[in-house]
Structure 1
Amino acid sequence: MIKQRSLVIFYALIIYAVAQLIWWAYYLYSLQHNRLGMILGEGSMFVTVFVFGAISLHKTVNRESKLQEQKRNFLLSVTHELKSPLASIKILLQTIQKRDLTKVQILDFIDKSLLDIERLDDMVENMLLASKIDNRSYTFPKAKFNLSVLVDSIVNRLQVTKCDCNQQVIDAEIEPKIEITGDKFALTSVVTNLVENAIKYSSPCEVVAVKLFSKDDKVFLQVADHGIGIADAEKGRIFDKFYRVGSEDTRNTKGTGLGLYIVKEVLDKHEASIKVKDNRPAGSIFEVTFALT
C-alpha cells in the first residue's frame, strides 16, 4: 500500500513537471519566435536529464521497496526460527520435570534439547557475523588449521536421522590432513551453512554428499544434494543478503536468507571461490575452491 502510494505521487510529480515544461516552452516560443532552436535545444537537454533522473529514482524506489520487503520476511523468518526450537526445548524440559522418566529417557530428551540449542546458537552466530561483516568490524584473523578435522566435526554434529530405518543423511568423503590458512571461526560458519542448506532443501532420506579433497595445489569442498535445485535465473542472486530461492507464498523451508550471503563474503575474504552447479538428476552442487599457499 505504501509502495503504491509512493509510486502514485512519483508519477504525478513527473506528469506535473512535464506539463510545466510544455507550458513554459509554448510561452517562450509565443514571446520569441526567433529563438525556437534555443528553446528546443534547452528543452531536449532538460527532458534528457529529467528522464534519466526519473528512471534512476524509479529503480532506487523499487530496490528500496524490495529490500524493505526482504527485511520484513527476514524478521518473520527469525521469529519462526527462534520460536520452533524454543518450544521444543520447553516441552522436553517440562516433560522431564513432570513425568517419572527413566535415566535413558532423560538423557535422550537432554540430547534433543542440546541439538535445538546448537541450532539456535548457529542462527545467532550467523546474525552476529553478518552484522560484523556489514559494519566492517570483523578482521578475519587467520591462522593455519586442519580443515579435514573441521569438516568432519561439523558433519558429525549435523548428522541427523530422518528415516524410519535410521539412515544417515550425510555421506562424507574427507581426505585427511588437509591444512589451510584462514579464519577458523568464519570458515566454520561457511561449512555449517552449506551443509545445513543441503539438508534443509532435501527431502527426508535423501543423501547429502560432502567431499573434501586436494588436487593441483588446490583444496575443493563439495556439498551436493538431491533437493529442489536452483533455477539458472536465480543462481546469480542466491548470495545476496536476505535473498531466498522461490516465492515467499509457496516456500516451505525455513531460513533467514543470511547463510549464503555469509558464505560468499567469508570466501571473498579468503580469496576463495564458490560456484553452483546442477546435480543430476535433481538438486545442486556447491563447490568451494581454496588455493594452497
Structure 2
Amino acid sequence: MIRDPHPWKLEAWRFGAVLTAGAMIGWWVGHVFATLFLAVLGFLGWHVFQLWRFHRWVRLGKRSDPPDTSGIWHDLTYDLYRLHQRSRKRKKKIARLLNRFHESSAAVPDATVILGKRYEIEWFNEAAGELLRLQQPGDVGRPITHLLREPRFIAYLEGGVYTQSLEMPRLPDRQVQLSARVVAYGDGQLLLTVRDVTRIHRLESMRRDFVANVSHELRTPLTVIAGYVETLVDDPTLAPEVHRTLQSVETQAERMRRIIDDLLTLSHLETREDTVAEQTAVPVPALIGAIEEDAHMLVAERDLTVHVEVEAGLWLRGARSELQSAFSNLVTNAIRYTPDGGTITLRWFADAEGARFQVEDTGIGIPQGQISRVTERFYRVESDRSRASGGTGLGLAIVKHVLQRHGATLHIQSIPDQGSTFTCHFPLNRTLQKPPSSNTLS
C-alpha cells in the first residue's frame, strides 16, 4: 500500500465537489436546499459504507485484503495496516526470543523454575522436572511450596532475602542434597535455580573424615616422640649442638601438636549441626576474665599492654567450650601479630542488635584485598611471619565456624601497619541480660 500524501485536502475537495454539484443541480431544478441536503446525506452514506468496509476488514484480519479506498479512509487503512505489520514482526521476534530462551533454559544443567507472586509455578525446564520431580503440565500453576515441603526452603522463600543460597535435602529421599538459589525480577516474579550437590557433600564428608582420622592417628605417635624428645632435652650430658637440635625438634613437635588439635577442633565443628541447639547460659564476663589471665601470661616477656572492657551481667546462650575457643583464638592472633610496644583491647558489650565481642590491636594489619580470605583454612597474610610466630593458619577458620553455629557474624576492619579490629556480633536471641538461677535454660 502507498500512503496518500494529503488525505484531508482530498477529503475537503471531495466534500466541496459534492456541495457544488448539489447546488448546481438544485438551481437547475429549482430546489437548492433540498438538493444540498440530499448531496450531504449521500456523502455521509458513502462514509458509512467506507466505515463498514473498514470494520469488516479489521474483523477479518489476515483473511481479507485491505479495502481499495482513497482519502482519509485510505490513510486510516494504511496506518492500521502498517501497525498490524509491525505487530506481526514484533510477535515473530518475541516468539524467536521465547523459543531461544526455552532452548537455552532446557540446555542448562541446573533445574530452573519461574515462580509468580504467590510462588506458583509458571514454567520449568526439563532438569527441574527430573531433579524436583515436577510434571508438565499438571504442576504448572501450583505453588512450589506444595511440592517442595522442606521447612527451611519455605522459610527461605517467604523470607524475601535471597543474598545466599540454601542447601537442603530433597524430601522424602534425604540422601539427595540440593542447593537452591532465588533471584527476584520483574513484577514480583522469582527465578529459582536448584542443583544437585550430593557428590560435593559426600566429598566434603570424606575430606572431614580423612582429616579427623589422620589427626587421631598422628596424635599418639607424636605424643610418644614429644615425650622422648623432652626426656633427651633434659639430659645434661648431651653436646650443645645435639641439645640445640633436640630443642628445634621439640618446638616443631609442639607446633605439629597444635595443628593436630586445631584440625580436630575444626573437624568436630564441621561435622556437627549448622546451629548450636544448646541453651546453656554462658557467663561471658568470667570467660573473658580467664582469657585475660592467659593473655597476660603470653605477654609476660613482651612489651604489650592488654586492656579489658566488659559489661557485667551480659551472658550468652550457647556452647561454652566453643565460645572460649573462638575468643581465645582471636586474642592469641592479636598477641601474635602485634609488635612490642603495642596495645590489645578486649571489649564485651550490648547494643540494639545484640551483643559484641571485640578484639582491637595495634599490630601489622591486613591488606584490604586479603580480609575476605583470612578465615580460610591455612590462609596466612604473611606466610613466613605466621610460621615464625607459631600460627597454624586454622584459628580464624575455627572462629568462623563457631560464630556460624551461634548465628553470629564476624566483621573485620584493618589498616596495614596500624592495626585490626575483629568484632563478633551475636543476635538478640542469643543474649541474656541477667544470669538465670540454673545453668541450663528450659
- Tell me the TM-score normalised to structure 1 length: 0.55
Choose between structure 1 and 2: higher helix proportion.
1
How does 1:195-234 map onto structure 2 within 5 Å? Answer: 195-234=331-370
Q: SS of the counterpart of 1:159?
A: helix
Q: 1:125 to 1:154 in 2, by over 3 A?
A: farther
> Residue 263 of structure 2 is aligned with which of 127, 132, 157?
127
User: Is the CA contact 1:161–1:167 (under 8 Å) kept in the aligned structure 2?
Assistant: no
TM-superposed CA distance for 1:292, in Å, is: 2.2
Counterpart CA distance in 1 for 2:304 and 2:384 is 30
Counterpart CA distance in 2 for 1:249 and 1:222 is 24
1:156 aligns with 2:293: yes
> Residue 308 of structure 2 is aligned with which of 169, 172, 187?
172
| Higher Cα radius of gyration | 2
> Residue 234 of structure 2 is aligned with which of 91, 94, 101?
94
Can you give the 5+ residue segments of structure 1 that lack an aligned partner in the other structure? Answer: 1-70, 99-117
Counterpart CA distance in 2 for 1:155 and 1:204 is 18
Q: SS of the counterpart of 1:236?
A: helix
Amino acid at match of 2:305: V
Can you give the 5+ residue segments of structure 2 that lack an aligned partner in the other structure? Answer: 1-210, 238-253, 430-442
Q: SS of the counterpart of 1:278?
A: strand
Amino acid at match of 2:371: K
> Residue 194 of structure 1 is aligned with which of 326, 330, 345?
330
Counterpart CA distance in 2 for 1:184 and 1:161 is 22
Q: 1:255 to 1:150 in 2, by over 3 A?
A: same
Q: 1:209 to 1:129 in 2, by over 3 A?
A: same
TM-superposed CA distance for 1:247, in Å, is: 4.0
Counterpart CA distance in 2 for 1:249 and 1:176 is 37
Q: 1:188 to 1:251 in 2, by over 3 A?
A: closer
TM-superposed CA distance for 1:206, in Å, is: 1.4
> Residue 373 of structure 2 is aligned with which of 224, 237, 241?
237
User: Is the CA contact 2:350–2:356 (under 8 Å) kept in the aligned structure 1?
Assistant: yes
Q: 1:246 to 1:274 in 2, by over 3 A?
A: same
Counterpart CA distance in 1 for 2:398 and 2:230 is 30
Aligned length: 195
Counterpart CA distance in 2 for 1:249 and 1:265 is 25
Q: SS of the counterpart of 1:285?
A: strand
Counterpart CA distance in 2 for 1:225 and 1:185 is 24
What does residue 253 of structure 1 align with? 389
What does residue 137 of structure 2 align with? none
State the percentage of identical aligned residues: 29
- Tell me the TM-score normalised to structure 2 length: 0.38
Counterpart CA distance in 2 for 1:199 and 1:186 is 20
Between stretches 281-290 and 230-239, larger displacement belongs to: 281-290
Counterpart CA distance in 1 for 2:365 and 2:265 is 27
Counterpart CA distance in 1 for 2:230 and 2:351 is 48
Counterpart CA distance in 1 for 2:260 and 2:386 is 26
